Amino acid sequence: MIGGLGARVGAVLSDISSTEGRLAVTAAIVLGTLAVGWLLLPKAVRAVERTAAAWIERLLDDRMAESTEGAIETFREGVPTSFILRLAVGLLQLALFALAGVAVLTLWGRFGLVVAVLPVAENAARVGAQVVVTAVLLGGAYVVSDVVETYVGELSADSDRITAHQEQLLTRLAQVGLLVLAGITVLGIWGVNLGGLLVGAGFLGIVLGMAARQTLGSLIAGFVLMFARPFEIGDWVEIGNEEGFVTDITIINTHMRNFDGEYVVVPNDLVANQAITNRSREGRLRIHMEVGIGYDDDPDEAAGIAEDVLSGIDTIANNPQPYAIPSGFGDSAILLDLRFWIDPPTPQARWRSKAIAVERIQERFADAGISIPYPQRTVSYPPETAEAEETIERVERIDGDGDGRSRDGSV
């Protein structure tokens, strides 16, 4: 093929046999190459870039203009446009100069040198093209991952149905998918056997799955938590024996900060297998307290005083109204169940409302003469036990002179 091309080029240039003619044609080729390479190519590439950008913008639907505006701006800021333009211009100039060199060598009857060097040049061009495509793919995947993150953030800001946890997880999945796709494409470009690689990856996955069962369980539980949404970042939750505020939710772990300021990390598989109490979900929280009054006191009066006290505490909500009801008979007191709501539910509001309620109820009960009794216990004996103790007492009162007579003179 190359020999036939050289024969045709030689036939075209066969009429130029004089040295002066060849010099003139060589000068024309050089000047034309410089003019096209240094003057026309940069302007043409910039014009094509502007036309492509305008065409892409026209393809955007008006309904998606607002949601994609941030992603487009991020793409424009993240893509090194000047570097890409310089790279494109350089590659085109290199190809143009190579063609000009081939033409000059053919003109001077050195086409055999071109044929000898051409395989090396083809290999170098192929490797160079693979390197360029690899760099473009990896760089494009990195830039597109940033664009996806911005786009998902815009969608999350405009929708209340996407939580911060879901936003983070969707972003990470999209980024990992883009990088994996780019990596597989790059391996295919370099001629790597993907079949054998996938088989090896399958065996490796089995080994890792057996060795990291808990981690995989936490990973699957992370997806379950994402769709179930039992809590969100900032919620006050109780998970098993741990209670605090959720600070972060990852695919593997749930991060909390308890009321002692400690940083707690709970694996997601443990979170999914335990009871979860979310005290922030409903926006309010009901508190139960119990107080005992003496059996000689009036339960209705005590309940009225307790309700009046609870209604006057600022941290307790008035809708619904707090109330107190007699709930049972204790060992030493009649029990009153105090129930009230705090809105919004915070640990500080819960502790403060309970502390104020205890202090004020104790004061009001004391003023009204209502007792809060201590634990009491009444001890009684059966009749036969009482008779035995009386006999023992009479024996102990026998006169101590040893004559066997009691204090009343009987034997």
Q: What's the pLDDT tens digit per position in 87-146?
A: 666 777 777 777 777 777 676 666 666 666 667 667 777 777 777 788 878 777 877 777
pLDDT score at 237 = 93
Which tokens is 410 given?
């009987």
pLDDT score at 265 = 92
pLDDT score at 410 = 46
pTM (predicted TM-score): 0.50
Q: What angle do CA 279, 284, 288 make, to 5 degrees?
A: 80
Structural domains in the chain plus CATH codes: 16-190 (no CATH), 193-280 (2.30.30.60), 285-368 (3.30.70.100)
Which residue shows structure tokens 């369980």? Answer: 217
DSSP structural state of residue 279: S
User: Distance of CA 215 to CAs 203, 210, 264, 344, Å?
Assistant: 18, 10, 17, 36
Mean pLDDT of the chain: 75
pLDDT score at 304 = 92
d(C-alpha 7, C-alpha 150), whole Å: 58
pLDDT score at 404 = 46
d(C-alpha 355, C-alpha 366), whole Å: 17
d(C-alpha 288, C-alpha 278), whole Å: 17
Which residue shows structure tokens 């998902």? Answer: 152
pLDDT score at 174 = 80
pLDDT score at 305 = 93
pLDDT score at 269 = 84
d(C-alpha 238, C-alpha 128), whole Å: 58
d(C-alpha 201, C-alpha 87), whole Å: 36
**Residues 6 or more apart whose Cβ sits within 8 Å of residue 359:** none
pLDDT beneath 50: ranges in the chain? 1-3, 5-6, 14, 61-71, 74-75, 78-79, 399-402, 404, 406-411
- Residue type at 276 in one-letter notation: I
